[in-house]
Each structure stands twice: as C-alpha cells, then as structure tokens.
Amino acid sequence: MSDFNTTAVVDAIPVHKYKKKSQAYVIWRRFKRNRMAMIGLVLFTIMLIVAITAPLYIDYDKDVITQTISMRYQGPSLAHPFGTDHFGRDIMSRVLWGARISMFVGVGVVAISLFIGSILGASAGYFGGVYDNVIMRIMDIVLAIPGTMLAITIVAALGGGIANLLLALGIEQVPKMTRIVRSSVLTLKRQDYIEAAKACGTGNVRIIFKHILPNAIGPILVQATLTVARTIISIAGLSFIGLGVLPPAPEWGAMISEAKTQLMNYPYLVYAPGIAIVLTVTSLTLIGDGLRDALDPKLKN
Amino acid sequence: MHKYVIKRLLMLIPVILGITFILYSIMTLTPGDPVRMILGDGATDEAVEQMREELGLNKGFFEGYVDYLKDAAHGDFGKSYRTREPVFNEVFARFPNTLKLASSAIAISIILGVLVGIIQAVHQYSILDNIISGITLICTSIPDFWFGLILIIIFCVNLKLLPASGSDHWYNYVLPAITASMGYTAGTIRLTRSSMLEVIRSDYIRTARAKGTDERTITYRHALKNALLPVVTLIGINLGWQLGGTIIVEQIFAIPGIGTLMIGAVRSKDIPLLMASVTFVAVLSSLINLGTDILYAYIDPRIKAEYSK
C-alpha cells in the first residue's frame, strides 16, 4: 500500500520540472521581465540591422561621400529627410552609414581591451603575489592619466584613422577590464571545483581559460556592454576635435564638428548625428543595466 | 591615519614616473619631428641640427628621459619648444580658467544632483521619479560636445542671451559649466537616489518614525547625513576627472584652459609642455582623491577607525 502511494506521488510531479534549466536561460527570463532592458535590446537590434544592411540600399561612393555643391544646405525634405550638408551630401545616408563606423569601433575597442584585460587580469588574479602587484600598479598608473588625455595623446602621435583610434581607446580601457576580470578570478579561484581541477593535474592555463573565465563572464559582459556605449561617445568626441576618424568618412562626431561651423545659419545639421549617438548609447546602457540586474537580482533596488 | 596619508603620497612617485615615461615614449617613438614642425619644411639641415642641439633632442631615448627626470628633480621641467618659456608658466597661466569651469560645473552637479536625488527617493515609484530617471538616463548618454552645441543654438543663436565663446566675464562660463556638469549631475542624482533609498530602509529611520518624528526631519536630519557619504566620494572623483575632462568643452566654447593647452602641445609635439600639463592634472586629481578620502574619514568615524587599525 505504501509503495503504491509513493509511486503515485512521484508520478503526479511533472517530469519536466526536473529538467535542469541552463543558467543563461534563467538570466534571459529575468532580463525579459525588465521592460526598459527589452526596449534597449529591441532598439539596439534595429540599429544593428540597419548598420549591417546599410550597403544594400546605400551606395557609399554615390550617396555618402560624393559632393554635389548645387545641392548644399537643403533643409529637411522628402528626398532628404534630414537635409543635406555643406557638400550637398544626404545627411540621412551619412548618419545610417555612421552607425557602421561607430559600432565597429565600439565593439573593436571592447574586443581589444577585453583580450588584453582578460590575459592580464586573469593571470594577475590567479597567480597573485609580486606578479599581481606589478600588473595592478601599472594599471593604477595608466588609470591616473585622465582617459581623454591619454587617448588624444596616442591618436595625435600616431595620426587619425580607425586603426589608431581602436588602439588608443583600447589602451584607455585596458585597466578597467583588467580590474573587473581580476576581481572575478579572485572570488572564483578559491572555489572547490578549481581545487578539484588542480587535483586532477589540470594545467594553469587550461584552468584559467576553461574553468575560471567562462564562469566570470557575467560581470565582464555587463562591463563590455557599458564600455561599447562609453566608447561610442569617446570616438565621436575625438572625431569632433579632429583627432578621430578621417574625412570624408561619415562618423557622427565628425559630422557634428563639420556642422559646428554653420551653427548660426543651418542649425539643423547638428541634430541627426547627435540623436543617433544618444539613441545608440541609451540602448546599450539599458541593455547593460538590465544584464546587471538579471545577473544579480539582489543588487536591484 | 598619518601612515595611510604618507603611503598614499608616496604612491604618487611611481605615478609621476609612469605618466612621464608613458608620454615620453609615445611622443618620441612615433613619427613626426617637432623641430621640422617649428621650422617648417623649407629649413636647412644645419638649422634643424642646431635646433635639435638647443632643445636637447639629439640624445638617445633613455638618456633623454633620464636627463628630463634629473632636471625635474631640481624643479626644472623644461621649456616649451614654441614659446621658450618655462612650461609651468604657461600651465599656471591657463589653469585658473580650467579651475573656474570645473569647480562651477561641480557646484551645479552637487546642488542639482543632491536635491533632485532626494526628491526622487522621497517619492519613489511616483510619475515624477520615473520621468526624472528617464531624463538622467538620457543625460548620461548625451555627448557633452553635442549638448554644448544645442545650448549654443538655444541661448546664443535663438534667444541671444549668452555669448558662445570667451573667458573674461562670469557669464562666459554659464553655458560651458552647464555643459560640463550634465553627465556628472546625472551621476550624482542616480547615486543620491539609490543611497537615500538604502538608508531610508534602515532600522534607525524606522525608530525615528516610531517616535513620531515628522518626515521632513527624518529626511533631512536623519537620513541625508548617512546617505551623502558615498556622494562625497563621487564628488571628489568627479572633481578630479573634471580637471582633466573639460578638454572638449574648452574646445567648443574656446576657453583657454589646460585642455586647449594640451591639445596644442600634442599637435605641435611640444613634449615638455605636454608632460607638464598632463602630469600636473594627474597629480592634482590624485591629491583631490586623497583629500576626499581624508574628508570621508572625518565625517564617518567608522572609516577613521578602519584607517587607524
């Protein structure tokens, strides 16, 4: 009799409840419930699609950089929703193409700083001791230089252009990435499963890259998202003072800088690229904040 | 406490060495000859060689750096390549403009940031709270140079109320200060709000309520004191950042501050001038951060106890 009851109880519990949900799925469910974060994600996805598909409906040579002086300073109209600039180029095409540049450099900077920062931070946190101290003091020194100044110095010394911009902003971000990775590694390395991996004779490099870093991905991802957002502003700022992407490439900051000279007569030139920056950065910030809350619900107030 | 301060001051030495070395390497190892830039392309080789000698540029990489440090240790930070004046003359001539801009921006961010943050926390989840949250979010995403241009369009072009450039009168600083303060104000609002919310939930506030203290006294006398602690740190960090971060704002409003000086120095490869201005700002912001930490210990006895351990 008692046997029968037990079986019935076990049967009554649906089997799928025992299926282990992956952590990523749990985090995604929490993320989905956050309305602001989802707005950010949708907005960013749309802009990403626009940036990727831009070559399908915009011809770079014809629409973006060809100068038609007879068409200059046309106010917003149906043919040119945001008007045309001082060379008669369609501002809408330039703003849409600009998304490609900003997002490419933004993601590139994070990739560079994350690559260097992960190696430095993970090794510093894992090995500790003198090595850790030396690495972190060097990072402190780099952090003591005001970020914009460091980036300006590097770009000015090497010259403008996307490659140098990537390098300059990447170096600026390395210390922050190193710190984040290091602190995650410090908490993880004392866990039992790392001890177990060591006992199995797993090599240090393998432990760092296969066992520690994948588990530290959360805070790194949050930092990476927010860094892309900050970097997009930095790129625009450097281009604005003439030390970033070289003309005639339609970078948003460079477009604002060109519009600056005609502020008195044609203020409309300034609006579109600026709004593009604000939308991109806001959407990334929303995603970053949403990710942080989804990863650690306790932090949310 | 003294020990801690001395340790922090000693940490400045490697920071200064590191910064000067990083800048020196970047400037000397990259293409572009400062002498050719000063003399122009038409200069003869003899003239270039003579000027190299004069500016001390004919030394090797390490020799040049060690000589710079030796002179710096004796208080001689070199002369600007262009003006031939001691570099700090120029730095100190420009610094007051940057200081005026940075401190007025910080003042705006403190007053506005703390006030709005408190209002938001007191009315948590109200419509007002949500609207302000939205605005602060967008404010952190607006590039300062764009915001500055929008302000110029509104106040200079359309309303003709304020000048767009210059640095002689106080009203020249109104727009630059608002521009520079925007991001920091948004940060201060967010931190004040979350820190207030945390404090309001603590037991001693509940006790005060139970005693029948009125809400206003609780907010401003009991809660605010503790809630402002993290805000003080943020303000210190912000001031440090501001001194080095007003570069772009100075550019928009044509303010002759440290930022404009630095960009000029970078463009003309004026190595001593660049090293002096960047090091000056970096050391100053480190000192401000240290000052904030000391101040922090004085307003929070718990922290002071931590230091004296």
Q: Where are the domains of chain B?
A: 2-73, 88-267
What's the rounded Cα separation, in Å, for the pair B140 and A289?
13
Q: Do B248 and A270 touch (CB under 8 A)?
A: no
The answer to whether A43 contacts chain B (CB < 8 Å) is no
What's the rounded Cα separation, in Å, for the pair A167 and A163?
6
Q: How many CA atoms, within 13 angstroms, populate the side-chain half-sphere of residue A93? A: 20
Both tokens assigned to A281: 């950065």
In angstroms, the first-to-last Cα distance of chain A is 52
What's the rounded Cα separation, in Å, for the pair B288 and B305?
22
- Higher-scoring residue by pLDDT: B193, A58: B193
The answer to whether A203 contacts chain B (CB < 8 Å) is no
A-chain residues near B285 (CB < 8 A): 144, 146
Q: Which of A117-121, A240-244, B262-266, B302-306 has the highest mean pLDDT?
A: A117-121
Asked if pLDDT for residue B104 goes beyond 60, the answer is yes
What's the rounded Cα separation, in Å, for the pair B255 and B102?
12
Q: Do A146 and B266 touch (CB under 8 A)?
A: no
Q: What is the pLDDT of residues B33-90, one digit of tens each?
A: 777 777 777 777 777 777 777 777 777 778 888 888 888 888 788 888 877 788 888 8
The answer to whether A274 contacts chain B (CB < 8 Å) is yes
Instruction: Tell me how many residue pairs between chain A and chain B have CB atoms under 8 A apart.
Output: 125
Cα separations in angstroms, A66 against A252, A260, B54, B307: 17, 21, 48, 64
From A199's Cα to the closest Cα of chain B, the distance in A is 38
From A265's Cα to the closest Cα of chain B, the distance in A is 9
Q: What is the pLDDT of residues B198-242, one digit of tens each?
A: 888 888 888 888 888 888 888 888 888 888 888 888 888 888 878
Cα separations in angstroms, A218 against A22, A117, A123, A188, A228: 14, 15, 18, 12, 16
Between positions 53 and 112 of B, the ones with CB within 8 A of A are none
Between positions 120 and 179 of B, the ones with CB within 8 A of A are 137-138, 140-146, 149-150, 152-153, 157
When CB atoms are compared, the residue of A146, A253, A301 closest to B241 is: A146
- Higher-scoring residue by pLDDT: B145, B55: B145
Which of B63, B67, B93, B55 minimizes the C-alpha distance to B271? B55
Give the chain B residue whose CA is nearest to the CA of A299: B194
The answer to whether B238 touches B106, Cβ cutoff 8 Å, is yes
Kindly calculate the radius of gyration of chain B based on its CA atoms and give it in whole angstroms: 24
From B100's Cα to the closest Cα of chain A, the distance in A is 18
- Higher-scoring residue by pLDDT: B130, B298: B130
DSSP at B165: S
The reply to whether CATH 1.10.3720.10 applies to domain A25-58+83-299 is yes
Sign of the Cα pseudo-torsion (B185, B188, B190, B192, in order) = negative
**Best to test chain B binding among A153, A226, A234, A281 (most B CBs inside 10 Å):** A153
pLDDT at position B117 is 92
B-chain residues near A281 (CB < 8 A): 141, 143
Q: For chain B, what is the mean pLDDT?
A: 84
Please tell me the CATH code under which domain B88-267 is placed.
Answer: 1.10.3720.10
pLDDT at position B70 is 85
pLDDT at position A43 is 94
From B61's Cα to the closest Cα of chain A, the distance in A is 16
Between positions 109 and 138 of A, the ones with CB within 8 A of B are 137-138
SS3 content of chain B, % helix, strand, coil (to 5): 80, 0, 20
Both tokens assigned to B150: 């929008």
Within 8 A by CB and 6+ apart from A57, the residues are none
Within 8 A by CB and 6+ apart from B261, the residues are B90, B91, B94, B273, B277
% residues pLDDT > 90 (chain B): 11
What's the rounded Cα separation, in Å, for the pair A32 and A36?
9
Helices A268-295 + B144-151 axis angle, to 10: 140
Between positions 134 and 153 of A, the ones with CB within 8 A of B are 137-138, 140-142, 144-150, 152-153
Q: Do B146 and A140 touch (CB under 8 A)?
A: no
Q: What is the 3-state secondary structure (H, E, C) of chain A?
A: CHHHHHHHHHHHCCHHHHCCCCHHHHHHHHHHHCHHHHHHHHHHHHHHHHHHHHHHHCCHHHHHHCCCHHHCCCCCCCCCCCCECCCCCEHHHHHHHHHHHHHHHHHHHHHHHHHHHHHHHHHHHHHCHHHHHHHHHHHHHHHHCCHHHHHHHHHHHHCCCHHHHHHHHHHHHHHHHHHHHHHHHHHHCCCHHHHHHHHCCCCHHHHHHHHHHHHHHHHHHHHHHHHHHHHHHHHHHHHHCCCCCCCCCCCHHHHHHHHHCCCCCCCHHHHHHHHHHHHHHHHHHHHHHHHHHHHCHHHCC
Give the chain B residue whose CA is nearest to the CA of A275: B142
From B151's Cα to the closest Cα of chain A, the distance in A is 11
pLDDT at position A259 is 83
When CB atoms are compared, the residue of B11, B145, B244 closest to A237 is: B145
A-chain residues near B243 (CB < 8 A): 146
The answer to whether A154 touches A97, Cβ cutoff 8 Å, is no
From B266's Cα to the closest Cα of chain A, the distance in A is 6
pLDDT at position B279 is 87
pLDDT at position A279 is 94
Within 8 A by CB and 6+ apart from B119, the residues are B128, B132
Which parts of chain A register pLDDT below 70?
1-21, 297-301
pLDDT at position B309 is 57
Q: Do B30 and A157 touch (CB under 8 A)?
A: yes
From A281's Cα to the closest Cα of chain B, the distance in A is 5
pTM for this one? 0.84
In 3-state terms, what secondary structure has residue B86? Answer: strand
pLDDT at position A19 is 58
pLDDT at position B113 is 92
When CB atoms are compared, the residue of B14, B30, B281 closest to A141 is: B14
Give the chain A residue whose CA is nearest to the CA of B33: A157
Between positions 4 and 33 of B, the ones with CB within 8 A of A are 11, 14-15, 18-19, 22-23, 26-27, 30-32
